[in-house]
């Protein structure tokens, strides 16, 4: 497993470039790689009005950000540096290394249609922009702990997964929620690696999905999600190892059968359905007792990643299950 090396020598992009201009430059590069002809409106993009306009064109939901932080969900440690958090990512659809942020620019996030199906009263296809505009957005600062023993503190923007479930109205026979990532091997070359069980999928019990911590993320650091972090919609379940927090979701399906998720299919002896964080339960190949923080020191890992008070009740009658792998 790769562990991130320190990057103290790097200058934060935000310190050297005005953010709107930086985003603008990315869109410029994108349009060149897409073979677009340089439009007159892009010439002289240094003016702030133009820069703002370009930023809105990049993401139609940009004007929704930033939103109010919900202080019920705070962390005593400092928020991770934005540059570190957005340039050290797992997104196997774009490769198995950590610097997939450039490759992930290829992801097309509009139009983005989400299917809600299975054991629900209201099966539906919903456009992402319509969905986000109907949801109460808030910011939550969560711990994010990868099974590879690195972690960060992230200010996510989004809405409770429970709100999406209200739209769907699951039947009482629905016991699990399965989520799937977009399938598009042309823009996500990792999906051409047929030995992986694409599309990436993850599952929760209905009780876990309804838990107040289960959060559907649309943004981070007060802006829409960058592609490499799972734009336009991903999950955050902070008491579980990070692989449960599926990115770029296009399907929510309710079922009565426990699903076998992406990593569990690949290596069931190492990655299970529950994957709750526990410092005392080793990964078969390494200790989970401590974690290397992205912008800081190594710290002790906490049971349920520090969220015991929110989630312990879910598991009180499940002691026969492998809750921590
Ligand atoms: N979702 C998809 N679709 N593909 C992935 O490869 N990686 C998972 C999870 N969600 C992954 C995914 C893993 S292993 C982790 S640790 C987190 O995303 C990483 O999220 P981050 O890159 O935003 O930190």
With respect to residue 71, please indicate whether it lies within any of the assigned structural domains: yes
pLDDT confidence of 319, banded at 50, 70, 90? very high
With respect to residue 324, please indicate whether it lies within any of the assigned structural domains: no
Q: How many structural domains is the chain composed of?
A: 2
What is the per-residue DSSP string for 122-176? --EEEEHHHHHHTS--EEEEEEEE-TTSEEEEEEEEEEEHHHHHHHH-B-TT--E
- pLDDT at residue 57, as a whole number: 58
**159-187 burial code (b ≥16 CB/10 A, e <16):** bbbeebbeebebeeebebbbbbbbebeee
Q: What is the CA(243)–ligand 1 centre distance, in A?
A: 5
Residues 39 and 75 in one domain: no
Position 18 pLDDT exceeds 90: no
Position 42 pLDDT exceeds 60: no
| Total number of residues shown for the chain | 325
Domain assignment of residue 195, given as a range: 62-315
Ligand 1, CB cutoff 6 Å, lining residues: 89-93, 144, 146, 181, 200, 229, 242-243, 245-248
With respect to residue 3, please indicate whether it lies within any of the assigned structural domains: no
Substitution site in 178, 245, 250 for ligand 1 pocket (most atoms within 8 Å of beta carbon): 245
Position 236 pLDDT exceeds 90: yes
Check residues 22 and 190 and name the one with the higher pLDDT.
Answer: 190
Residues 37 and 110 in one domain: no
Closest ligand 1 atom number to CA of residue 248: 3
Position 115 pLDDT exceeds 90: yes
Q: Domain containing 273 — which CATH number?
A: 3.90.420.10
With respect to residue 21, please indicate whether it lies within any of the assigned structural domains: yes
Residues 165 and 308 in one domain: yes
Substitution site in 83, 90, 238 for ligand 1 pocket (most atoms within 8 Å of beta carbon): 90
Q: What is the CA(200)–ligand 1 centre distance, in A?
A: 10
Contacting residues for 88 by C-beta, under 8 A, at least 6 apart: 4, 98, 99, 150, 294
Residues 197 and 274 in one domain: yes
Q: What is the CA(238)–ligand 1 centre distance, in A?
A: 13
Residues 92 and 51 in one domain: no
Q: What is the pLDDT of residues 271-304, one digit of tens each?
A: 999 999 999 999 999 999 999 999 778 999 999 9
Residues 75 and 111 in one domain: yes
Tokens of 54: 């370009």
* pTM (2 d.p.): 0.85
Mean pLDDT within 224-236: 98
Residues 38 and 75 in one domain: no
Position 241 pLDDT exceeds 90: yes
List the one residue out of 151, 81, 78 whose CA is nearest residue 301. 151
Q: What is the pLDDT of residues 59-106, one digit of tens each?
A: 999 999 999 999 999 999 999 999 999 999 999 999 998 989 999 999
pLDDT confidence of 58, banded at 50, 70, 90? confident
Residues 125 and 229 in one domain: yes
Give the whole-angstrom CA distance, residue 274 versus residue 90: 19
Residues 250 and 123 in one domain: yes
Q: What is the CA(228)–ligand 1 centre distance, in A?
A: 9
Residues 38 and 96 in one domain: no
Q: What is the CA(3)–ligand 1 centre distance, in A?
A: 15
Residues 172 and 200 in one domain: yes
């Amino acid at each position: 497993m790769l562990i991130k090396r320190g990057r103290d020598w790097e200058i934060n992009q935000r310190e050297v470039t005005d953010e709107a201009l930086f985003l603008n430059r990315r869109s410029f590069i994108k349009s060149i790689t897409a073979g677009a002809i340089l439009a007159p409106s892009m010439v002289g993009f240094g003016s702030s009005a133009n820069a703002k306009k370009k930023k809105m064109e990049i993401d139609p939901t940009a004007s929704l950000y930033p939103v109010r932080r919900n202080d019920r969900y705070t962390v005593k440690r400092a928020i991770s540096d934005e540059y570190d958090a957005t340039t050290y990512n797992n997104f196997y659809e774009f490769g198995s290394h950590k610097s997939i942020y450039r490759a992930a620019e290829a992801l097309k996030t509009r139009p983005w249609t989400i299917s809600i199906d299975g054991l629900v009263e209201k099966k539906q296809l919903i456009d992402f922009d319509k969905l986000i505009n109907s949801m109460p957005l808030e910011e939550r600062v969560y711990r994010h702990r990868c099974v590879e023993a690195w972690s960060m503190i992230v200010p996510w923007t989004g809405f409770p997964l429970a709100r999406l479930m209200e739209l769907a109205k699951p039947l009482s026979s629905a016991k699990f929620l399965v989520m799937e990532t977009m399938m598009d091997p042309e823009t996500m070359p990792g999906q051409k690696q047929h030995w992986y069980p694409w599309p990436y999928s993850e599952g929760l019990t209905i009780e876990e999905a309804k838990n107040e911590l289960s959060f559907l993320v649309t943004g981070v650091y007060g802006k829409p999600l960058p592609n490499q972090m799972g734009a336009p919609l991903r999950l955050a379940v902070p008491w579980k190892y990070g692989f449960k927090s599926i990115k770029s979701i296009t399907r929510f399906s309710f079922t009565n059968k426990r699903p076998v998720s992406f990593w569990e299919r690949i290596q069931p002896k190492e990655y299970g359905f529950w994957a709750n964080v526990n410092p005392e339960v080793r990964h078969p190949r390494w200790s989970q007792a401590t974690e290397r923080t992205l912008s800081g020191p190594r710290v002790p890992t906490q049971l349920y990643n520090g969220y015991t008070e929110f989630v312990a009740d879910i598991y009180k009658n499940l002691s026969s299950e492998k809750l921590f792998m």
